[in-house]
Structure formats: C-alpha cells, structure tokens
Amino acid sequence: MRFYILTLLVALFSAVAMAAESGYTDYILALREPVDQKKVDKAKSDIEAEGGKVTYEIKTGMKGLIVSLPNDRVKAMADKDYVDFMEQDKSVHIN
C-alpha cells in the first residue's frame, strides 16, 4: 500500500498541474490488475468518447491515468469493469 501511495505522489508531482476547464473535473483513474496495453488503450478511447481528456499516464507502480472528465460523465467511467478506483485529483500539501 505504501508503494502505491508513493508512486501516486511521484506521478502527481511529475504531472503538469493544470486546473480543469469549467464543467470538467480532474481524476486519478486506477486500472484494475492485470493491466496490459489493450486495457490502457480501451480506457483512453472510452475517456475520449465521454468527452474527456487524458492528461498523464501513470506507468510506474500503479497503472492508471490522470484524466479530465465532464462532470456529468464521471459515473459512466467509474462504472467500467477495468476501473479499480477513481479519485478526484487534488493538491497535496505536506506540512
């Protein structure tokens, strides 16, 4: 679990931080194991079909995508059988 959290933090700090467009929200979309290129391509295609954009692909540790989705299409993506979990992408502050 610590490895996944660390991987996620590294990916977030590595990605270019951009605010979502109005009507869109940024999410971390983790893919259900096992992950192969076919599953990644399917997720990317489905995100674009829902009107969203892939802003970053997480390739180290946890496999997933940082995506920007229209607010009314989030549930449609979260319900896909290849999605392990989706979490809103937010700033992390370390004190």
Q: Considering the entire predicted model, what is its pTM?
A: 0.75
Which pair of tokens denotes residue 61? 């540790």
pLDDT average per 10 residues of sequence, the chain (95 residues):
53 53 94 97 98 95 95 96 95 82
> Can you give the pLDDT at residue 69?
97
CATH superfamily for 2-88 is Peptidase S8 propeptide/proteinase inhibitor I9 (3.30.70.80)
Domain boundaries, the chain: 2-88
Q: For residue 20, what is the DSSP state?
A: P
Sheet strands side by side (includes 24-31): 53-58, 64-70, 24-31, 83-88
